[in-house]
Structure 1
Amino acid sequence: MPVDSDTFRTVLGQWPSGVCVVTTTGPRGAHGMTASSFSSVSLDPPLVSVCLGNHLPSRGLLDAAGRFALSFLGKDQAHIGRRFAGQHPEITDRFAGLDWQLTEGGIPVLADAIAWLDCRVAHAYPGGDHTIFVGEVTDAAMPRVTAPLLFHSRTWGQVADPLPSSLHLAVEVPPGDPLAAVLRQAGSRVRHDGSHAEFTVDGTGVLPPPAWFSAARETGSAVVGYVADAFDPAREAAVLSVLDALTALGCDEVGLTESPVKPASPLQVRRVLQDAIVRVRPAVLRVRLAGGHSLALVNALVAMKSGVAHFDTVAPGAAAGLPMDDLLHLSRQLEVPGPRFSFEE
């Protein structure tokens, strides 16, 4: 006996998916709708599928046009998803006020989508009350890098990264401090010990010359590029641009530094890290948070929930920076394995 439609829809709602806007053209111009029933089909040839309800105008238009495009939405574009899902009936022209560009196939795609595909209809199969369109991808692009928009249980959402599987520390200790040997024995890195070549990009955005990178690599040192005051809301676009530059230079690790003067808000830490962790791959992303304010451990938790596993800390009793023992206490409470030191027992 078939399951009833309400139960079936509720069950399917437990399967999270990305969100895209399907666009095509017709006698009255461009037409689009929000869809989550998208899937990749084949790599060679490149094929994708999308399912459209037979009652929808888009279904007939797409069939007649023989072409369609898919614009994948980012975490900040739920309003576009709602618009093309018909949740704003007061908007009569869904395309108005948004930035569009035409593909070579003549189909509009969102200029600031996180990715888009231009497709030729290769097959159309009946699928109950839907039609399964299989499209051959003729063009594709990724206009910007950010976390995707998700749809789950009839609600718009964002990627919520799990806590890291383990914690890795780089600790700043005074020269000659016996703690350095303990740190190394526990598998943590001691900053400024010569194993890593570090530099910081300040508000001017000036990078070291190519000769600096060549010299660092000749010594066998891992290259770490830091971005100063990385969580200032006014500098968000500039910070992300610097991250792209550091990744292009081939930095082994990229670090984001919180201002010691103006504590960052947890929301801004989350905003920046959501984009940063995607942009810097395959480099390691590390975070250097300020200590001594009430949000220090909250920001550390937000960073861990954003997928950050590498932190710069300071030795207990240091004047500035996030204390190593505070972060380790947090990791134990969250049951995230971190380095263990004999003096902790």
Structure 2
Amino acid sequence: MHHGSLSRPVDQRTYRKVVGKFATGVAVVTTRLGEVDHAMTVNSFTSVSLEPLLVLFCAETAARFHAAVLEAGVWGVSVLPASMEDASRFFAHRGRPLDAPLARWPHHRSPSGVVLFDGAIATLEARTTAVHPAGDHSIIVGEVTHLGTPSDSAPLLYHNGRYGTSR
């Protein structure tokens, strides 16, 4: 038994509407190349494996972050609380100045030197172990090398093209 018509062509607008029904958390992925910090908002972060500890996120190949994270080989993930919607919006904006003021949000550096946000409800650091081309994005898989203690704050959620929270 199936619902809906399979004969209609699949278009990008309908696709975005359909996949937007899947509620996700929101994270900022960071990396450091030379003396420059790079950051990008993602909702494509997921746990992959317990043995070894692997996570992944997807990066648009056209984004400056893509080249930086591939060259750096290490990255941090800050899972955002509902109170950090402003950071999510800021780091989702394409083409902002590279010297973007990360200082607007309190942060610290992971053991490898990438930025992790103090206000995050969970943080981790990973070392890239695989990159899989996937259309206009790459699936970047990494082994977890450092974990930050999760907080009990309400998470920032993204659903139907809008931000929300679970509480």
User: TM-score normalised to the size of structure 1?
Assistant: 0.44
Distance 1:28 1:118 in 2: 18
User: When the two structures are aligned, how many residues end up with a matched partner?
Assistant: 160
- Secondary structure of the residue aligned to 2:58 is strand
Indicate which of 9, 12, 19 corresponds to 1:5.
Answer: 12
2:11 alignment partner AA: D
Q: Structure 2 vs 1, CA of residues 104 and 91 (structure 1 numbering), >3 Å: closer, same or farther?
A: closer
Indicate which of 61, 67, 75 corresponds to 1:54.
Answer: 61
Distance 2:82 2:125 in 1: 22
2:85 alignment partner AA: A
Contact 1:38 1:50 in 2 (8 A): yes
Distance 1:9 1:94 in 2: 31
Contact 1:83 1:91 in 2 (8 A): no
2:127 alignment partner AA: R
For the pair 1:137 / 2:144, whether they are aligned, the reply is yes
Indicate which of 96, 115, 121 corresponds to 2:122.
Answer: 115
1:57 alignment partner AA: R
For the pair 1:24 / 2:50, whether they are aligned, the reply is no
Contact 1:83 1:94 in 2 (8 A): no
Indicate which of 69, 82, 93 corresponds to 2:76.
Answer: 69
The answer to which structure has the higher strand fraction is: 2
Q: Deviations 1:122-149 (Å, cap 9, x if unpaired)?
A: 1000111100000100011125321111
* Aligned-pair identity (%): 36
Q: CA RMSD in A?
A: 2.1
Segments of 5+ residues of structure 2 without an aligned counterpart are: 1-7
Contact 1:25 1:31 in 2 (8 A): yes
- Secondary structure of the residue aligned to 2:146 is strand
Contact 1:23 1:109 in 2 (8 A): yes
Q: How does 1:1-345 map to 2 (within 5 A)?
A: 3-86=10-93, 93-142=100-149, 144-160=151-167
Distance 1:121 1:111 in 2: 23
User: TM-score normalised to the size of structure 2?
Assistant: 0.88
Q: Structure 2 vs 1, CA of residues 2 and 70 (structure 1 numbering), >3 Å: closer, same or farther?
A: farther
Distance 2:90 2:47 in 1: 25
Q: Deviations 1:189-219 (Å, cap 9, x if unpaired)?
A: xxxxxxxxxxxxxxxxxxxxxxxxxxxxxxx
Segments of 5+ residues of structure 1 without an aligned counterpart are: 161-345
- Secondary structure of the residue aligned to 2:139 is strand
The answer to which structure has the higher helix fraction is: 1
- Secondary structure of the residue aligned to 1:106 is coil
